[in-house]
Amino acid sequence: MGNTRRNKDLHEAYIHIHGNDGLNDVLSQLAACTPYAIRYKRSIIFDIQQYNQEELEKLFDFSEFPVRVYTNVKEKLNELKHLPKLPKHGTGKRPLRFDLNKPYPRDVILFYGSGKGGNATLKNATHRQRHLFEYLRFTDSFIDDYVKVKDAARIPEDYIGLHLRSTDRKLNTQNTIYGGTEENTIAIKAVPQEENTHEESLKKIEAFIAANPNLPVYVATDNIKLLDKLKEVHPNILSSYRAVESAQCISNRECKPLHRWAKKEPHVLKHALIDLFLLANASKLMTSAGGFSRLASALSRKKSLVKKLLTK
């Protein structure tokens, strides 16, 4: 009986992705492990710690993914608890990862730990990272929710997008305007940003909005108080934020990172993905620091891919 079970387990080998960071990083970790899983015929246990209240099967459709992906993490790991894991968690704050260039025994669960997963953007992406977006699909229910949010926020077909990451006190807005003309980018670069202060970024935002006076602005940000401040000046600003997020903000300069409460709040990941695609579908996009902005800007240059991802 024991040998039969062990032989069955050996037939299916596993990679445990333990994502403990933001959306861009966990997708990067999935992107890094997928080609390895394909090559060595391993299934993936997709474990997103920061969003563990989210039911991943209601967002991602892995039915046609090139390898089997399990999202019932606790149940699956409990089922496989008799199998050895490599490597162990190691020491320090960040667990270790297995070597992507090395084969391992099939009776060992390979661990790809938390920490910065790299860049899941399509800009200068490696071949293996591009594969993720070729394989990734979303459920019909997620696509329906995306459409509902877009309709509820009254977002038209033509609009400009703005992503503001305010958890680090500095907005760190970028000079490049994706989808904009050269003149548009020049207008933003003309605004001084000598010390990369909050005020300097706000001036760049003003220049971006002023350069597109007839278009509504969709703003994705983790700081509801900053959003309210912008709305006071620009009534054409659109957003899809919920009241729960306002309690996390100390001021329009500082907001507690979403990661501190995403573990307790359901649907944070869903709304992050909706924000991502609303930014990517903007005709022009201004971003700030961080992987989420990089991912949004990369997808904004791949409108056909975004359309494919949002089509049932």
R_g of the chain, CA atoms, integer Å: 21
Q: Which two tokens stand for residue 81?
A: 């608890």
Percentage of residues in the chain having pLDDT higher than 70: 77
The structural domains of the chain, ordered by start, are 2-135 (3.40.50), 140-309 (3.40.50.11350)
Q: How far apart are CA 42 and CA 35, in angstroms?
A: 10
Q: Residue 168's pLDDT is what?
A: 62
pLDDT at 145: 95
Give the pLDDT score at 127. 44
Give the pLDDT score at 162: 93
CA 133 to chain centre: 12
The answer to whether 145 and 270 are in contact (CB under 8 A) is: yes
Q: 226 vs 212, 230, 303, CA distance in Å?
A: 20, 6, 29
**CA-CA distance, 233 to 230, in Å (whole number)?**
5
pLDDT score of 273 = 92
The closest alpha carbon to 262, from 248, 280, 249, 250, belongs to 248
pLDDT of 60 reads 95
| pLDDT in the model for residue 6 | 42
Please give the full DSSP string across 12-68, using - where no structure is assigned. SEEEEEEE-S-HHHHHHHHHHHHHHHHHTTEEEEEEEGGGTTS-GGGTB--TTSSS-
pLDDT beneath 70, residues of the chain:
1-10, 87-95, 114-131, 166-169, 180, 183-184, 241-265
> Which pTM was predicted?
0.85
